[in-house]
């Protein structure tokens, strides 16, 4: 049913509802639904105030059946409660066991972590010792190489100095612009003949024009023949 706001407001006042400001009704029409029965907040009617309802009569067989069903219901509910109670106890026990297991696992984890840290410290100490030994060995190898290098340098320097000394000694006999005339005179005075001859007995005769009779027997040179090693 559609009614205007002016028609609804007196009804709300009659019901004791001061909801005009709360509802903030629009002046446009709204829809209302009538109560099928008396609202719950209204008191009992004066005509029914002292009326006592008649107690219903239940058949004996029906009463017995209701008691039986009621007893059965109570028994089943008692069983269900006992079942849930037992389940709760088991769950609580399992929960305690689970908590204890978690606590044991955590303690075991902490113990393993501590043991792992100890192992890491031992391994780190062994690693430091091993690296120290390797470093010392490398130092010894490098030092030995340095000493060997210095010895080789010293030997090469000594060889170079020896070669310089020998070269200086040979330089005394070098033919230079100052002594070339004397060297030519010495070469003309004492010519050197590199030709030689060997007889059947192995005697050597120096010179191109030397005869066997020109060399005394005690001054003959003989070729030294070395045996071949098979």
Q: In this structure, are residues 187 and 174 in contact, taking their beta carbons and an 8 Å threshold?
A: no
Measure the CA angle with vertex 214, ends 210 and 217; round to 5°: 120
Q: What are phi and psi of 25, to 5 degrees?
A: -70, 145
Q: What are phi and psi of 2, to 5 degrees?
A: -105, 130
Per the domain annotation, does 221 fall within a domain? no
Q: What is the pLDDT of residue 160?
A: 94
Per the domain annotation, does 4 fall within a domain? yes
pTM value surpassing 0.85: no
Distance set, CA 197 to CA 174, 192, 214, 221 (Å): 31, 15, 13, 11
Please count the structural domains in the chain.
Answer: 1
Per the domain annotation, does 16 fall within a domain? yes
Q: What is the pLDDT of residue 163?
A: 93
Query: What is the domain extent for residue 5?
Result: 1-34
Q: What is the pLDDT of residue 94?
A: 72
Per the domain annotation, does 196 fall within a domain? no
Distance set, CA 227 to CA 201, 224, 230 (Å): 17, 10, 9
Q: Which helix (H) or strand (E) holds 204?
A: strand 203-206
Q: Which helix (H) or strand (E) holds 30?
A: strand 30-31
Per the domain annotation, does 104 fall within a domain? no
Q: What is the pLDDT of residue 14?
A: 45
Per the domain annotation, does 7 fall within a domain? yes
Bridge-based pairing of strands 203-206 and 2-3 is: unpaired
Output the tens digit of pLDDT for each of the chain's 230 residues. 444 445 555 554 544 445 445 555 555 566 666 667 788 888 988 888 888 888 888 899 999 999 999 999 999 999 999 999 998 888 777 777 777 777 888 889 999 999 999 999 999 999 999 999 999 999 999 999 999 999 999 999 999 999 999 988 888 888 888 888 888 888 888 877 788 888 888 888 887 777 777 778 787 788 777 655 44
């Amino acid at each position: 049913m559609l009614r205007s706001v002016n028609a609804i407001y007196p009804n709300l006042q009659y019901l004791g509802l001061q909801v005009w400001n709360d509802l903030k009704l629009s002046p446009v029409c709204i829809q209302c639904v009538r109560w099928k029965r008396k609202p719950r907040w209204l008191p009992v009617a004066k005509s029914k105030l002292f009326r006592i309802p008649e107690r219903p009569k239940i058949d004996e067989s029906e009463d017995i059946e209701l008691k039986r069903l009621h007893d059965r219901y109570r028994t089943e509910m008692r069983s269900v409660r006992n079942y849930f109670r037992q389940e709760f106890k088991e769950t609580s026990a399992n929960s305690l066991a689970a908590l204890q297991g978690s606590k044991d696992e955590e303690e075991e984890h902490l113990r393993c972590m501590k043991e792992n840290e100890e192992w890491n410290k031992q391994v780190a100490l062994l690693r430091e010792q091993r690296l120290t030994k390797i470093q010392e060995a490398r130092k010894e190898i490098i030092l030995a190489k340095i000493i060997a290098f210095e010895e080789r340098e010293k030997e090469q320097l000594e060889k170079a100095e020896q070669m310089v000394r020998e070269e200086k000694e040979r330089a005394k006999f070098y033919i230079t612009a100052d002594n070339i005339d004397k060297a030519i005179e010495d070469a003309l005075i004492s010519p050197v003949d590199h030709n030689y001859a060997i007889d059947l007995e192995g005697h050597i005769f120096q010179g191109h024009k030397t005869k066997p009779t020109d060399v005394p027997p005690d001054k003959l040179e003989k070729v030294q023949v070395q045996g071949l090693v098979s």
